[in-house]
Amino acid sequence: MADITRRLGWRHLRGAPTAHVRHHRGERLLHDGPGLSFWFRPLTAAISEVPVDDRELAMTFHARTADFQDVVVQATVTYRVGDPAVAAARLDFSIDPDTGVWRGTPLEQLGTLLTETAQQHALDTLARTPLAEALVDGVAVVRERIAAGLTAEPRLPATGIEVVAVRVMALRPEPEVERALRTPAREQIQQEADRATYERRAVAVERERAIAENELASQIELARREEQLVEQRGTNARREAEEHAAADSVRAAAEAARTVKLAEAEAARSVKLADAEAARMVRLAEAEAARSVKLGEAEADRSVTLARAEAAGAREVGEARAAAQSAWLRVHGEADVATLHALTGARLAENLPRIDSVTVSPDVLTGLLAKLGSAEQA
C-alpha cells in the first residue's frame, strides 16, 4: 500500500519497490513505474497501484476419482503481475488518493481466477484416474496438469498474470478409506515384525540352551571338585580329631593330677576349719551359759521387787477405797430423801446413753400439765 501524506490541498505519494504505480490526469499518463514518489492533486488524479512481487495462493478443494472416491487436494500457486498496464486496465487496482487503499478487491479476483482454473484441470485429471493410482502418482500428475492448464489458459496473459510455480503438497482420501488402505500395509508390517520376533525368540532359545549346557557342565565340574573337597575335608577332620584326642589325653592327665592336689589341699583346709569351728562353738556355748545364769538371777530379783511393789500399791488402793466408801455412806445417811433421789437421777443420767432429740406427744403434754395444775392447787 502506497504511503500518502497531505500538504495544503496537495498529496504526496511514496510507492514501494514491489508496487507499480500508474498516475493519470485525464487521458495523460504522468507517472508509470515501481517505487515512484511524486506530488499530485487528488481531484484531478487517477492512480493505480499494481503489486509486481511474487505472491503465494494456497488452495484446498475436493475431487472425485474414477472409482468415485472423494480425495482432498492441497496445492499452492505462485504468480506475479507481469504486465502492470494490462492488469490495471483489466482489473480495478485504483487506490483512494487520501488513504492509498484499493477501492476494489483485485487480488481476490485474481485468486478466484487462479483457483477455479487450477481446480478445473485437477478435477478433470482425477476424474479419469483410479484412487490407487492417484495416491501413488497423483501428486506429480496433478501438479503437471495444473501447471500446463494455467500456462495454456488465455485469460491469464490477457490479464497480465504470469504463473511462476505450481506445488501440490498432498492428495488424501477420506479418513475411512485411508485407514482401509493402510490396513494391508500394516498387516504386512505386523507380519514382518512377528516373524522377526519369532526369529529373535528362536535365537534367544538357542542361546539359552547353550547357556544351560554350559551351566550344566559347570555344575558337573563344581560337583566333582566339591567331592574332592569333601574327601580332603574328611581327611583333614580325621587328622585334626586325632591331634585333638592326643591333646585332650595330655590335658586330662594334667587336669586329673591338678584335681587330686586340689582335693588334698581342700581336705586339709576343711579339717582345719572344722577344728577351728568346733573350738569356737565350745567357747560360744560356755559364754552363752554364763550369760543365761546371770540373766536368770537378774530376772528373779526384778520379779521379787515388782511383786512387793504391787502388793504395797494394792494395799494402799484398798485402804483409800474403803475410806471413800465409808465417807460416801456417811454422807448419804445424813442426806434427806429428795437429795438422794436427785443424786440417783444424776448418777443415772451419767450412765444413760446420749439422746439427740425428744419427741413429746400431745397426750403426754396434756397429762403433765394436768398433774402440774393439781400439784399447785394442793
Give tens-digit pLDDT for 209-233: 889 889 898 889 898 998 899 889 8
Q: What is the mean pLDDT of residues 269-287?
A: 85
Q: How confident is the model at residue 314 (pLDDT cuts 50, 70, 90)?
A: confident
pTM of the model: 0.46
Q: Is residue 78 over pLDDT 90? A: yes
The mean pLDDT of 80-92, rounded to a whole number, is 89
Averaged pLDDT for residues 265-269:
87
What mean pLDDT comes out for the span 278-299? 83
Q: What pLDDT was estimated at residue 354?
A: 67
pLDDT at residue 378, rounded to an integer: 54
Cα separation, 28 vs 25, whole angstroms: 5
Residues 87-92, mean pLDDT to the nearest whole number? 87
User: Does the pLDDT of residue 375 top 70, yes or no?
Assistant: no
Work out the number of other CB atoms within 10 angstroms of the CB of residue 111: 17
Dist CA 5 CA 197 (whole Å): 76
How far is residue 83's CA from residue 91's CA, in Å, rounded to a whole number? 12
Q: Does residue 252 register a pLDDT over 60?
A: yes
Instruction: Compute the average pLDDT of residues 102-108.
Output: 88
Rounded Cα distance, 180 and 213, in Å? 49
Q: Which long-range contacts (CB under 8 A, 24 or more apart) does 213-217 make?
A: none
Q: In this model, does residue 178 exceed pLDDT 90?
A: no
Q: How confident is the model at residue 349 (pLDDT cuts 50, 70, 90)?
A: low
pLDDT at site 271: 84
Q: Which pLDDT score, from 0 to 100, does residue 17 have? A: 87
Cβ proximity of 20 and 84 under 8 Å: yes
Determine phi and psi for 129, rounding to 5 degrees.
-120, 130
pLDDT of 77 higher than 90: yes
Return the C-alpha cell found at 295.
Answer: 540373766
What pLDDT score does 355 carry?
A: 64
pLDDT for position 76: 93
What's the pLDDT band for 263 if we cut at 50, 70, 90?
A: confident
Each residue of 34-54: pLDDT tens digit?
Answer: 888 888 888 888 888 999 889
Q: Considering only 73-82, 177-186, 314-323, 342-351, which range has the smallest mean pLDDT?
A: 342-351
Count of Cβ atoms closer than 10 Å to residue 135 Cβ: 19
- Sorting pLDDT into bands at 50, 70 and 90, what band is 377? low
In this predicted structure, what is the pLDDT of residue 166? 92
Q: Which of 52, 61, 60, 41 is nearest to 19 (CA)?
A: 52
